[in-house]
Amino acid sequence: MAALRTIIAQGRKRIGLLVGAGASAGMAKADGSYPLIPAVAGLTDKVLGILEPTYKAQIDGLKAELAQHDIETILSRIRSLSKVIGTAKVHDLDGPGFATFGEAICAEIGKIVDVRLPMPGSAYANLVNWITGTSRDYPIEVFTTNYDLLFEEAFESVRAPYFDGFTGGREPFFDPVSVSRCDLPARWTRLWKLHGSLGWRASDKGEVIRTGQSSASHLVFPEHLKYDQTQKAPYAALLDRLRAFLLTPDTLLISIGFSFADAHIAARLDEALAANPAASVFAFQYKNLDEEHSACDLARRLPNFSLYARDQAKVNGMRGPWKAPPDLPSKDWGPIRSTYLDIDGNFTLGGIEPFARFFAASKSIQAFSTPPTMLPPVAVPPAA
């Protein structure tokens, strides 16, 4: 962690962030309550709960045939059915009926995730302060599966330039050439929305455009868009960018709030890390190690995938608990240690607020410990 603190304080390393739904779920609202935005499980329960009076038969039918019941998998299935069944009926709905169902889901998702950053000093604001706080040889690349506009708000609040793959004025269009070449100046942060975003919709030509509004109509898993290649293009290009980033020598991808349960993302990570030993992933997880099944599987097979969980870590394939040495190696070690371990010896950087504070304070001579008020409540099982 001390070495990482040095690396992120400098501007010479090629660094990327992978931000999942757990990040927004780990942020507090303005009144101090959690979460700012529910994680995928909470989002699924909220959306389906709202739509159940109208679509109960369809929801029950889809859950019965799908192995996963999260909102993205259900929405992908709905979109697929709307494209192929036409006037035939599945679960008492025809193709147009499923299209309407999908639009209703997107509308409810949009209402839930359309939130503003709590001010002042939000976690995303701290991350942007870290990104813009030094001159960089390479741009920071942020890969996120989240639909919200929190990163956009954080960048724009300090007038920090970023590129999300779209260009234009009236109806900004997606430019895959600029995404693949990534040749904008290093001061432009790259913001890649892997699962779509609020404000994305399909134009009359079938192409995905960015509207600048907070409505949500284009939120899907990319591989389920194989029925329409023009709609697949943004997602395929963004996932290819993630793979290309990890295939570049001497890169570091740091994840926060991501479970690695998304098979299409985990597969690209697996392939790229196996092909490029010079790339590394640091996965900062909120739960205990034994609960992080998908991340543990990657850490077991890939020595350049390091997993840091609440109670233990798995580094270079070796597992061990967090433990305080009897003698600190230097006088600065105690304050630095307090920025990533709490008084009980639990790793705190799996939460977005301590994580962002650690990054923002990396250039400071003084090490700032994480206040207990920044940690969301967590249920820890009793000792055996």
Q: Is residue 380 included in any domain, yes or no? A: no
* Judgement on whether residues 47 and 30 belong to the same structural domain of the protein: no
* Judgement on whether residues 6 and 52 belong to the same structural domain of the protein: no
Name the nearest CA neighbour of 268 among 290, 238, 228. 238
| DSSP structure class, residue 341 | B
- For position 225, what pLDDT does the model report? 47
Q: Is residue 381 included in any domain, yes or no? A: no
DSSP states along 267-332: HHHHHHHHH-TT-EEEEE-SS-GGG-HHHHHHHHH-TTEEEE-SSEEEETTEEEE----SS-SSTT
Tokens for 276?
């490029």
Residues in the chain: 384
pTM: 0.87
The beta-strand segments (E) located in 188-233 are 189-193, 200-202, 208-210
At residue 48, the 3 state secondary structure works out as helix
* Judgement on whether residues 58 and 12 belong to the same structural domain of the protein: no
Q: Is residue 183 included in any domain, yes or no? A: yes
At residue 249, the 3 state secondary structure works out as coil
Other C-beta atoms closer than 10 Å to the C-beta of 206 total: 10
Find tokens 């992908």 and name the residue.
76
Q: Is residue 383 included in any domain, yes or no? A: no
Domain end among 85, 113, 141: 113
At residue 227, the 3 state secondary structure works out as coil
Measured torsion, CA atoms of residues 77, 151, 295, 34, in degrees rounded to the nearest 10: -90
* Judgement on whether residues 45 and 32 belong to the same structural domain of the protein: no
Domain count, the chain: 2
d(CA 90, CA 73): 17
**Neighbouring-strand partners of residue 343:** none
- For position 163, what pLDDT does the model report? 97
- List per-residue pLDDT tens for the chain, 384 residues long: 888 998 999 889 999 999 999 998 888 887 778 889 998 889 999 999 999 999 999 999 999 999 889 888 898 899 889 989 999 999 999 999 999 999 999 889 889 999 999 877 799 999 999 999 999 999 999 999 999 999 999 999 999 999 999 999 889 999 999 999 888 999 999 999 998 899 998 888 878 889 888 776 676 655 454 444 434 678 889 999 999 999 999 999 999 999 998 888 999 999 999 999 999 999 999 999 999 999 999 999 999 999 999 999 999 889 999 987 777 777 777 788 888 999 888 999 999 999 999 999 987 655 555 555 555 555 444 443
* Judgement on whether residues 294 and 352 belong to the same structural domain of the protein: yes
Q: Are 285 and 310 in contact (CB under 8 A)?
A: yes
* Judgement on whether residues 171 and 81 belong to the same structural domain of the protein: no
* Judgement on whether residues 223 and 161 belong to the same structural domain of the protein: yes
* Judgement on whether residues 149 and 278 belong to the same structural domain of the protein: yes
* Host domain of residue 342: 2-36+120-374
* Judgement on whether residues 336 and 304 belong to the same structural domain of the protein: yes
Question: What are phi and psi for residue 154, nearest 5 degrees?
Answer: -65, -45
Sign (positive or negative) of CA dihedral 13, 306, 197, 192: positive
Domain end among 65, 83, 113: 113
Q: Is residue 317 included in any domain, yes or no? A: yes
- For position 356, what pLDDT does the model report? 95
Amino acid at 364: S
Query: Is residue 17 within a helix (H) or strand (E), and if so which, with residue range?
Result: strand 14-19
* Judgement on whether residues 124 and 258 belong to the same structural domain of the protein: yes
d(CA 127, CA 157): 13
Name the nearest CA neighbour of 312 among 321, 300, 302, 323. 321
Name the nearest CA neighbour of 145 among 213, 191, 212, 90. 191
Amino acid at 14: R
* Judgement on whether residues 174 and 94 belong to the same structural domain of the protein: no
Tokens for 303?
């020595």
* Judgement on whether residues 84 and 176 belong to the same structural domain of the protein: no
β-pairing, 200-202 with 14-19? unpaired
Domain end among 113, 133, 152: 113
- For position 229, what pLDDT does the model report? 41
Amino acid at 221: F
- For position 118, what pLDDT does the model report? 84
